[in-house]
């Protein structure tokens, strides 16, 4: 639970500073979040397809921790996408959506917030 709290605090700080800081500085902060919480550079998540990412996460984490990490990564990809150009944004949003749908299907907890985010992303990407 502490890991989740730390992650969302770091991400919230980044989101708050998004309008104040320039792109390269934000990208450096994003890189550090990817590495600190997922042990890969952002390019790993940009280049690999969502199924591969999920499979790789399943090899490293199990049970509730896997679902927690999926939740964290889907939010990080979503926030990262908002800093990108339209084509790359859609690419990252699709990955975030895939992870959210997996989480929705495999979590024991129903979440209106998660369902709302799924709908929001589907509208943005227009698929």
Q: How many CB atoms lie within 10 A of CB 96?
A: 24
pLDDT digits (tens, 9 = 90+) for 54-92: 999 999 999 999 999 999 999 999 999 998 999 999 999
How far CA 122 is from CA of 7, 54, 101, 104, in Å, comes to 25, 20, 11, 15
Task: Record the pTM.
Answer: 0.91
pLDDT digits (tens, 9 = 90+) for 115-126: 999 999 999 998
pLDDT digits (tens, 9 = 90+) for 89-115: 999 999 999 999 999 999 998 999 999
pLDDT digits (tens, 9 = 90+) for 6-32: 998 998 888 888 777 677 788 888 999
The DSSP line for 21-61 is S-HHHHHHHHHHHHHHHHSS-HHHHHHS-HHHHHHHHHHH-
- Copy the structure tokens of residue 39: 């042990």
pLDDT at 103: 96
């Amino acid at each position: 639970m502490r890991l989740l709290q730390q992650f969302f605090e770091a991400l919230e700080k980044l989101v708050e500073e998004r309008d104040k800081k320039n792109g390269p500085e934000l990208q450096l902060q994003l890189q550090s979040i990817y590495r600190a919480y997922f042990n890969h550079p952002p390019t790993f998540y940009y280049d690999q397809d969502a199924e591969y990412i999920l499979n790789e996460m399943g090899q490293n984490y199990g049970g509730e921790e896997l679902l927690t990490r999926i939740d964290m990564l889907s939010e990080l990809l979503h926030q990262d996408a908002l800093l990108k150009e339209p084509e790359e944004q859609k690419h990252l949003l699709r990955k975030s959506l895939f992870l959210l749908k997996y989480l929705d299907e495999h979590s024991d907890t129903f979440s209106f917030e998660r369902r709302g985010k799924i709908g929001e992303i589907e509208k943005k990407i227009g698929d």
